[in-house]
Structure 1
Amino acid sequence: MRLQIDVAKTQGHFTLQAAAAVEGQRTGIFGQSGCGKSTLVHLISGLLQPDRGEIAIDGLTLFSSEKKISLPPEQRRIAIVFQQAMLFPHLGVKANLLYGYKRCSKANRRIDPQAIIDVLQLEPLLNRGVNRLSGGEKQRVALGRSVLSNPRLLLMDEPLSALDDTLRFQIIPYLKSVSAEFGIPYLFISHSVLEMQLMTDRILVMKEGKIIEETSPDQLARNRMATSQTGYLNLLHLEEPSVENGLYSYPWGSGRLLVSDGQEGKTSLFELSSRDIILFKQHPKAISARNLLACTVTELFRSDGRLGVVLSSCGKKLIAEIVRSAAEELDITEGSTIFAAIKASSFRRLD
């Protein structure tokens, strides 16, 4: 998908002036509350009309003030998954799912309802009323309803922010799978760096009504490492665990990682903060941390007064975070060998 935007919209004291051209199936729009993310979503979908400018997807003009084009929402074939599921309370789960599908022209019906039901694991819910669903179940039904409208683009406007962490990480695989399974590109809107890392390949960063940069999820996380409450979040897919002394042991790099919260026999995704990695110049004689890794420093980068240290072990990568004075005392340079200590309890399982 290629999305071209160059629009302006004033609402009260707030003015949005956004311009970008981005390509890809998994694009993020990132920014803090009030920066204009939702306004931009509404302009793309047709729920709001720009004061001026142009919006085009894959060469199809959705809006152009110069050409006097403004396709209504139903002709744009853009579906939205909102923060709240917004299901129709008077309809059951099955009727909610098929609502958009029945209103989609037969020429555009390329997604079979049963395929969506299978991918989102909705079969056990079909005969329920929507008031008998959990928050995560409601979001899965809302996602299914949007996909069954057979859109050319799926807009996800903070779809996880109303969920607790447990539900949030249960829903993410479903969000990703429908795009991959049915070839639907999406714009994922969020103020969470972690969600950007998990859901997107390219990101448009917004601030005060403007798109200020296009970047990658990794670069976004690096840029915000020092100012984030959690630092840089390393994401590790670990597999083939064994159990050692009550801990889960996963092969990683040249050795193994010991993790307190694993799942026997299952591949899992973990996050590890850059601030939970302690660096040593020499091998310590004794430490309480269960993980001690010999790594090579492959890169150093700055982030608001802090220093990111990229560590490599047989092709596997971690990013640690230290202050500049610590880097000088340890004489850390690119190519040097360093020992990284990590507590088994520092790994947080996300699935």
Structure 2
Amino acid sequence: MTLSVHLQHHFPGLNLDMAFEAPQGVTALFGRSGSGKTTLAHAIAGLFHPDQARITLSGRLLTDTKAHLNLPPHQRRLGLVFQDGRLFPHLTVAQNLTYGQRFAQGSAPRPGLDAIARLLDITPLLARRPAGLSGGERQRVAIGRALLSGPQMLILDEPLSALDQARKHDILPYLERLRDESHLPMLYISHALDEVARLANTLILVDQGQIRAAGPLETLLADPDLAPALGLRQAGAVVTARITAHHADGLTEALLPGAGPILLPRLAAPIGASVRLRIAAQDVILSRDRPEGLSALNILPTTVTRLRRGDGPGGMVQLQLGESLILCRLTARSAAALTLEPGMPCFAILKSLSVSA
């Protein structure tokens, strides 16, 4: 199932000119606030009428301004989740959930209320009203309501931005479960790269109303030329590993394809499971020779593939780590001292890892 978007619109001080295709899986629209992400999402959902647009979902025409076609939101079969949940305060959780069912179309079998409540762990909340729920609980109910509308695609517009860090960590596993178990295509809008790295398969980088880059998440996050647009402090690659052992000292061992084993804090996932690892560029140290006597447990052989000099004192180095690419952020002085150049072997010392099982 593919979402195809071609859109142009003029705002005072900002011209939107975007074209992309979102394949099956989770596609993330990522960019700074004010870059046009939410306007784009609203145009896809039929909540905003752009100057020019052609939008299709699996070949079904949603918007075509040249043909004067613009389906109303309730006919688009898109499940919408906003950052504030937008639940009906006078209805119980169960009534909010079933409200979405009235918009379901077609006779194809779909999960019912009980199945969605179990998926999102909200069965104990069904008799309560929104005022008595936490922010994370309200967002799970909003997601459930969208799912029960029988959508062909789910659009989540900054669904975690109104939550504190603890509530974000609570709800992210449910979004991962939704991704893995429902197989429903999702368009995920966010300016938080850690959320995008955990959830998305495809990344679309939006910058000042334009599409700066679009493609597989792992490829774009490892591109040193995109690091400034993604945010130097957030820059980092995502790699996939397979769990091979759980050790008695509280560590989990995983295998990076082509690179060898890596040690992680203990994970609950079973042996054989795949895990997605986020390696921040600022958490990678480089050494020409294999260092000895360090407390770091993960010292891996890599090869320099690309270097990008920054405008200031820093830069980015792209490294081949087995079958994957990662980034290292370092100063120009360090790069010169190491005499780094493409093709040079070196060792990457990983200070920390963010894990999404």
Fold similarity call, TM over 0.5: yes
Q: Give the deviation of 1:199 after TM superposition.
A: 2.1
Match of 2:246 in 1: 241
Once residues 20 and 269 of structure 2 are traced to their aligned partners in structure 1, the CA distance between those partners, rounded to angstroms, is 45
Match in the other structure for 1:88: 88
1:116-195 equivalent positions in 2, closer than 5 A: 116-195=116-195
Q: What is the rounded CA distance, in whole Å, between the counterparts of 1:80 and 1:249 in structure 2?
A: 38
Question: What runs of 5+ residues in structure 1 fail to find an aligned partner?
Answer: none
Identity of paired residues, percent? 30
2:299 aligns with one of 286, 293, 312: 293
- Aligned pairs for 1:1-351 (under 5 A) are 1-11=1-11, 14-105=14-105, 107=107, 110-221=110-221, 222=223, 223-225=225-227, 227-234=231-238, 239=243, 240-244=245-249, 248=251, 250-252=253-255, 257=262, 262-263=266-267, 271-287=278-294, 289-291=295-297, 293-297=299-303, 299-302=305-308, 304=310, 306-312=315-321, 318-333=326-341, 336-343=344-351, 346-348=352-354
- Quote the Cα distance in structure 2 between the aligned partners of 1:255 and 1:3: 38
Give 3-state SS (helix, strand or coil) of 2:227's partner: coil
Distance 1:30 1:294 in 2: 30
Q: Contact (CA 8 Å) 1:24, 1:202: kept in 2 or not? A: no
Q: Which amino acid aligns with 1:278?
A: I
Q: Which range is displaced more, 138-147 or 25-34?
A: 25-34
The Cα RMSD (Å) is 3.1
Verify the 8 A CA contact 2:41 2:157 in the aligned structure 1: yes
TM-score after normalising by structure 2: 0.83
**How many residue pairs are counted as aligned between the two chains?**
344
Q: Is the 8 A contact 1:4 1:20 kept in 2?
A: yes
- The AA in structure 2 aligned to 1:329 is A
Q: 1:309 to 1:175 in 2, by over 3 A?
A: same
Taking structure 1 as the reference length, what is the TM-score of the superposition? 0.84
Give distance in 2, aligned partners of 1:21 and 1:273.
28
Q: Give, in whole Å, the separation in 1 of the partners of 2:94 and 2:206.
A: 37
Change over 3 Å in CA distance of 1:109–1:48 after alignment to 2 = farther
CA contact (8 A) 1:262 1:349 kept: no
Change (3 A) 1:107 1:310: same
Partners in 2 of 1:17 and 1:204 — Cα distance?
14
Report the 3-state secondary structure (helix = DSSP H, G, I; strand = E; otherwise coil) of the residue aligned with 1:102: helix
Aligned counterparts of 2:108 and 2:242: Cα–Cα separation in 1: 40
Shift of 1:252: 4.6
Question: Cα offset for 1:243?
Answer: 4.1
Q: Alpha carbons of 1:7 and 1:107: their partners in 2 closer, same or farther (altered >3 Å)?
A: same
Give 1:92 deviation, angstroms.
1.0
Alpha-carbon distance, 1:233 to partner: 4.8
